Amino acid sequence: MEKNKKSIGAFIGEYGAFIALALLVIVISCISPEFRTASNFLNLLRQASFNGLIAFGMTCVILSDGIDLSVGSTFALSAIICAEFLINGWPAPLAILVSLIAGTGLGAVSGLLVTKGRLQPFIATLITMTAYRGLAFILTSGKPISRLAASIESDAGAFLFKMLGKGNLEIGPKSAFISIPIPVIILVAAFAIFYFVLHHTTFGRKLYATGSNAKCANLVGVNTSAVKIIVYAISGFMSALAGLIMISRVDSAQCTLGEGFELDAIAAVALGGTSMSGGRGKILGTIAGVLIIAVLNNGLNILGVPTYYQEVIKAIVILVAVLSDRKR
């Protein structure tokens, strides 16, 4: 009832994650001159892009009242599929396309297990997570596949592949341009697309309705099964996209890629205020969550906090942010 008044409480509730983010940036900037440089911020954004892309897909899945534990494995498996094709001399655009389709399909399998198989999302994606990781090991026999760019025959293809993870877009006058990493540009574009789809399309409405009350949504003609399959497919696609950026950047692929990524993505979504029981949440919150995690990773490193302590500090920040975000 008090929601109609824009009180300070409501403002904090709505933008809590951004306030937390701003506080973090200010505090770390005050302590460390190294942190507050433009090049470090761009670097930080590039590091955030992997988790960001995955977290966007994760947001959709969680909004549908699901969860996707398989994102890290999908990330690895689809990247390995791309690497295998490249090593075997396929043109880069085709290998990339196949990898993205594979990721989408892998995600859709989770969706089918949830809908047609009537498995709980946690269990369904625990199964796919395990299976995909296993397949990644089988495909590579546990060995890394490296020198990917060098195995691409055409120069244009090699350029395209390298651009994904290593490229920069130079903006501004020649004398004082800033180079924005391509992964950051992909992240921003993805954000815009997700924002539009979630808040301005009928699919977005159907997704929120499905997560809010699937029974009711189904009765007014929403194909809730289709909505669920689609969100897992989206999540798979986003994981594959992030995986491609990763192997482009490191120029090799291996079966342990992306281990534990599901946790960072879920943490980012939770930080952003999306309800774990579906139906409520915003993509804007997720981006704030992604940035909080990135700032923590980057900042704590720069401050020279030992790795073991970093994890505990991260946990505390997430706890505080999520608690303060809770209504009432």
Partner 1 sequence: MNIEMKGINKSFGTNQVLKDAGFVLKDGEVHALMGENGAGKSTLMKILTGVYTRDAGTVLVDGEEVTYRSPQEAEKAGIVFIYQELNVLFDLTVEENLFMGKEITKFGGVCDKKAMRAKAQEMMDKMGVNIPVNAVMSDLSVGQQQMVEICKALMVDAKVLIMDEPTAALTQSETEVLFEVMNSLRKKGVSIVYISHRMEEIFELCDRITILRDGSYVGTENIKDIDMDGVVQMMIGREIGERFPKRDVKIGEEVIRVEGLTKGKTFKDVNFSVRAGEVLGVSGLMGAGRTEIMQAIFGNLPYDSGKIFIEGNETKIKNPRQAIAAGIGFITEDRKTEGLLLEKSIAENIDIANLKKVSNNGVLAKSKQAELVKKGIEEFRVKCFGPQHETGNLSGGNQQKVVLAKWIYTDPKILILDEPTRGVDIGAKKEIYSVINDMAAKGVAVIMVSSELPEVLGMSDRIMVVHEGEVTGILDAADADQAKVMTLATGGSL
| Single residue of 29, 223, 297, 310 touching partner 1 by CB under 8 A | 223
Stretch that binds partner 1, among 8-16, 68-76, 220-228, 247-255 (CB under 8 A): 220-228
Minimum CB–partner distance for residue 118 and partner 1 (Å): 15
Minimum CB–partner distance for residue 197 and partner 1 (Å): 9
**Strand 252-253 relative to strand 168-171: parallel, antiparallel, unpaired?**
unpaired
Site for partner 1 in 264-293 (CB under 8 A): 279-280
Q: CA gyration radius for the chain?
A: 20
Report CA-CA distances (Å) from 115 to 118, 204, 217, 231, 246. Answer: 5, 19, 15, 12, 31
Minimum CB–partner distance for residue 107 and partner 1 (Å): 21
User: Which CB atom, from 212 or from 310, has the smaller least distance to partner 1?
Assistant: 212
Residues β-bridged to residue 60: none
| Single residue of 29, 43, 168, 213 touching partner 1 by CB under 8 A | 213
Residues β-bridged to residue 168: 181
Cβ contact 274:261 at 8 Å? no
Stretch that binds partner 1, among 160-168, 197-205, 245-253, 300-308 (CB under 8 A): 197-205
| Single residue of 63, 217, 227, 284 touching partner 1 by CB under 8 A | 217
Q: Contact between 205 and partner 1 (CB under 8 A)?
A: yes
User: Which CB atom, from 227 or from 292, has the smaller least distance to partner 1?
Assistant: 227
Stretch that binds partner 1, among 135-143, 195-203, 284-292, 303-311 (CB under 8 A): 195-203
193: nearest Cα among 160, 251, 241: 241
Q: Cα angle vertex 175, ends 171, 176, to 5°?
A: 50
User: Which CB atom, from 201 or from 256, has the smaller least distance to partner 1?
Assistant: 201
| Single residue of 37, 159, 200, 320 touching partner 1 by CB under 8 A | 200
Cα(184)–Cα(94) distance, integer angstroms? 23
| Single residue of 38, 220, 306, 307 touching partner 1 by CB under 8 A | 220
Q: Give the DSSP per-residue string, 211-279.
A: HH-HHHHHHTT--HHHHHHHHHHHHHHHHHHHHHHHHHHHSEE-TTTTTTHHHHHHHHHHHTT--TTSS
User: Which CB atom, from 3 or from 143, has the smaller least distance to partner 1?
Assistant: 3
Binding site for partner 1 (CB under 8 A): 1-5, 200-206, 208-209, 212-213, 215-223, 279-280
